[in-house]
Amino acid sequence: MAEYDYDIGIIGGGAGGLTVAAGAAQLGAKTLLIEKEKELGGDCLHFGCVPSKTLIKSAHVYHLMKNAERFGLPKIDVPPVEFGNVSNRVKAVIRTIQHHDSVERFCGLGAQVEFGHPNFTDEHAIRLNGKNYTAKSWVIASGSSAFIPPIKGLNRTPYITNREIFYLDHLPKSMIVLGAGPIGIEMAQAFNRFGTAVTVVAKGPQILSKDDQDLADAVMETQSSEGVKFYLNHSIEAVNDLGNERKITIKHKDGSTVSLKAETLLVALGRVANVEGLGLETIGVEHDQRGIKVDNRMRTNHKHIYAVGDVNGGFQFTHAAGYEGGIVVSNAIFRIPRKADYTYLPWCTFTDPPLGNIGMNETMAGKGRRRLYGLDRRIQRQ
């Protein structure tokens, strides 16, 4: 029997990877966790859920203060937002949670943590910082990044994504949000409430296209009444850098064009799986731009290599990544075959009003849930 350095090796220290690492290490498996950033925690902690929900809370409180009279309370003259204070609060909340996702905690659980950019050299081995590491099973949990489409002029124009928006040094006077998915729509409302003039551009006929139209429309109506401008059914033709401002040209599906200008451009046009540089081609792990192909036990086409969380292109939520991590612990460590079942998966879009879902909504039932979420390929290989 082949001897390996580790029972399980995990690439990516975010929601999915940390769940596997904690579970495997506590069960006594020899566990290696590899992260490319300086700290553990992944997108959720540093560039996703935690900073976005913290920012949204501040924007919500500010909005209530400005509208106190509507609740029978004394009218308050609320001064403008000191954005530095909001940013400091976001950083403080991240620091508090970082403690739970610290290297010390995971080493204490029994895992070995290494930092760097690993790449597979064969089906059981990776190379990292000039050393080879072998494991019986591997878990790829490298997450996703903002999709940057090939829009004319975009590569010559400063823009931000979810990696920068929570670390801005001042409140932009104006912002164009490209994309009307959950990230774009949550940020549109929060920044608009802080005082940024926000415009949202989307190609489709409704915002939050995975939600039922009547609910998405209710969210849009609220945001419109608060001052957010929407351009639906518009494709982005070109982007220009004007120095202090960015200009975008958008085209309605009837052929008419409009130019918009703003200080800041937020690109929130979907996500791509982080598969670059892992050496997946070397060992033949099947993947496309949406993600690594897995069956419902989270196994790739190499049965001892698993892929969990955003990188497999399924449901892109923190709790989904954690759930899939648990499936891997069961299959790879306990050796108890366990399949993922998303029938009652809940999720929420943290707008005001918020949108909550459990399981299939009307849109999913109409379009076919599997097709909508790209899960058909996962089901095929059951």
Ligand X SMILES: Cc1cc2nc3c(=O)[nH]c(=O)nc-3n(C[C@H](O)[C@H](O)[C@H](O)COP(=O)(O)OP(=O)(O)OC[C@H]3O[C@@H](n4cnc5c(N)ncnc54)[C@H](O)[C@@H]3O)c2cc1C
Positions 337 through 366 that interact with ligand X (CB under 6 A): 350
Burial of 70 (0-12, 13-18, 19+ CB in 10 A): exposed
Residue 94 interacts with ligand X (CB under 6 A)? no
Q: Is 198 left (phi over 0), alpha (psi -120 to 50) or beta?
A: beta
> Which member of 21, 24, 34, 215 binds ligand X (CB under 6 A)?
34
Alpha carbon 381 to its chain centroid, in Å, reads 26
Q: How many residues line the site for ligand X (CB under 6 A)?
A: 38
Residue 140 interacts with ligand X (CB under 6 A)? no
Identify which of residues 250 and 273 has a Cβ nearer to ligand X in the complex: 273
> Which member of 59, 207, 269, 321 binds ligand X (CB under 6 A)?
321
Pair 287, 120: CB distance under 8 Å: no
Q: Please give the angle made by the CA atoms of 174, 175 and 177, to the nearest 5 degrees.
A: 160
Cα separation, 20 vs 301, in Å, equals 20
Cα separation, 262 vs 199, in Å, equals 9
The closest residue (CB) to ligand X is 14
Closest separation between CB of residue 165 and ligand X, Å? 8
Whether the CA torsion 334, 340, 344, 346 is positive or negative: it is positive
> Which member of 113, 267, 278, 364 binds ligand X (CB under 6 A)?
278
Cα separation, 309 vs 311, in Å, equals 6
> Which member of 30, 89, 117, 127 binds ligand X (CB under 6 A)?
117
> Which member of 12, 184, 313, 314 binds ligand X (CB under 6 A)?
12
φ, ψ for residue 30, nearest 5 deg:
-75, 115
Residue 49 interacts with ligand X (CB under 6 A)? yes
Residue 13 interacts with ligand X (CB under 6 A)? yes
Return contacts of 121-129, CB within 8 angstroms, 24+ apart: 121/279, 121/282, 122/282, 122/283, 123/283, 123/302, 123/304, 123/305, 124/2, 124/4, 124/304, 126/9, 126/11, 126/34, 126/279, 128/34
Judged by DSSP in three states, 177 sits in: strand
Residue 273 interacts with ligand X (CB under 6 A)? no
Identify which of residues 142 and 331 has a Cβ nearer to ligand X in the complex: 142
Closest separation between CB of residue 343 and ligand X, Å? 17
> Which member of 118, 179, 184, 291 binds ligand X (CB under 6 A)?
118
> Which member of 22, 25, 29, 43 binds ligand X (CB under 6 A)?
43
Cα separation, 307 vs 17, in Å, equals 9
Residue 35 interacts with ligand X (CB under 6 A)? yes
What x-and-dash track marks residues 287-316 binding ligand X by CB under 6 A?
----------------------xxx----x
Run of H or E including 19: helix 15-26
> Between β-strands 229-231 and 197-201, what pairing exists: parallel, antiparallel or unpaired?
parallel
Residue 274 interacts with ligand X (CB under 6 A)? yes
Closest separation between CB of residue 136 and ligand X, Å? 19
Residue 194 interacts with ligand X (CB under 6 A)? no
- The contact set with ligand X (CB under 6 A) reads 11-17, 34-37, 42-44, 47-49, 52-53, 117-118, 141-143, 162, 183, 274, 277-278, 309-311, 316-319, 321, 350
